[in-house]
Amino acid sequence: MRINYHIHTLFSDGSSSIRDYCEIAIQKGFEEIAFTDHLTVFPDGSADPHSLNTISIEDYVKEIKSISLEYEGRLIIRLGVEVDYIPGSENIIEKILEGYDFDLVIGSVHFIDNVCIDSLKHRNLVENMIRENGFDSLYSKYLKLVSKAVETGFFNIIGHIDIVRIWGFNPADGLKDEQKVLEFIKEKGICLEVSSRGLRQPVSSIYPSLRILKRAYELGIPVTIGTDAHSVEEIDYAYDFLIEYVKSVGYSHITLFDKRRPLKRKIE
Ligand SMILES: [Zn+2]
Ligand SMILES: [Zn+2]
């Protein structure tokens, strides 16, 4: 069983088409994949240029639905989206999400005070923030945003929960903040994504850190798996390592979604 629940296509900032991903997924033995292009909408209603918008999302949904019918019996294709949590755009997001029958919605935080933390263009700004107040302060601020994302109730999955470590920083003492957000995730019945994205970034670590994953397991938080693929080459990036990582803390199941309903699946 191979699954990948985090894939970007030409509809947002990916460089491969939906069809190309489906072909490679079958070749590489995947049973189920979810397309999760970016939906980044700012409080003024404008969408990020690398994101889906209210017009392109129509075509995105249509294309995924028609291609999934074509691949029936060969590959399970889920309709997903990776939504940016940006304070102030909750109402807009809610309306957009209501308009489509997504299988899963990932909630991710990429922005702190208008700074896109995982953009190379903003790396200096992030490092300035760290120089000024220390990484722990930024980490804490980041996890507060994650917590607000959880509170909206819009999301099935929290994406790369500690991507704020991207540029190679790690919290000296993030325990208390991590604990709080994880308990909230558990309370709200949300799933945590385990992602190989960070292995391709300066931090060179899976998201989340082992400490977070262990705590998530103790709390009984379900997990799912994604490579955050932006091209077909990344569809199975460090896939076996991801599975071993999840199993190493005790997980025996991962969670899949069908029309927003969680399905448990044994890890083989
Ligand atoms: Zn993301
Ligand atoms: Zn992503």
Domain hosting 167: range is 3-266
How many separate domains does the chain show? 1
Give the largest CA-CA distance in the chain: 55
Burial class of residue 123 (count of CB atoms within 10 Å of its CB; 0-12, 13-18, 19+): middle
Q: How confident is the model at residue 187 (pLDDT cuts 50, 70, 90)?
A: very high
Under a CB-based contact definition with an 8 Å cutoff, are residues 239 and 206 in contact? no
pTM over 0.95? The answer is yes
- Residue 73 near residue 83, CB atoms below 8 Å: no
Query: How far does the centroid of ligand 2 lie from the alpha carbon of residue 226, in Å?
Result: 9
Looking at residue 134, its pLDDT comes to 94
| Residue 264: closest CA among 212, 222, 227 | 222
- CA 111 – ligand 1 centroid, Å: 10
Task: Give the distance (Å) from ligand 1 centre to CA of residue 166.
Answer: 11
pLDDT in tens, 151-181: 999 999 999 999 999 999 999 888 899 999 9
| Ligand whose nearest atom lies closest to the CA of 37 | 2
- CATH number, domain containing residue 226: 3.20.20.140
CB 169 within 8 A of CB 135: yes
Q: What is the pLDDT of residue 229?
A: 98
Chain-centre distance for alpha carbon 175 = 22
Which CA distances in Å does 165 have to 25, 133, 256? 29, 15, 26
Which of the four pLDDT bands, split at 50, 70 and 90, describes residue 263? Answer: very high
CA of 83 to the centre of ligand 2 (A): 9
Q: What is the mean pLDDT of residues 140-151?
A: 97
CA of 155 to the centre of ligand 2 (A): 14
Asked whether the beta carbons of 111 and 117 are under 8 A apart, the reply is yes
How far, in Å, is the centroid of ligand 2 from the Cα of 17?
Answer: 15
Closest listed ligand to the CA of 6: 2
d(CA 57, CA 16): 17
Please give the Cα distance from 265 to 267 (Å, whole number): 6
Mean pLDDT along residues 193-220: 97
Note whether 154 and 94 are within 8 A (CB).
Answer: yes
φ, ψ (nearest 5 deg) of residue 110: -115, -15
Q: What string of DSSP letters covers 61-101?
A: HHHHHHHHHHTTTT-EEEEEEEEE--TT-HHHHHHHHHTS-
Output the CA 169–ligand 2 centroid distance in Å: 20
Q: Is 200 helix (H, G, I), strand (E, B) or coil?
A: helix
User: At 118, is the pLDDT very low, low, confident or very high (cuts 50, 70, 90)?
Assistant: very high
Average pLDDT, the chain: 97
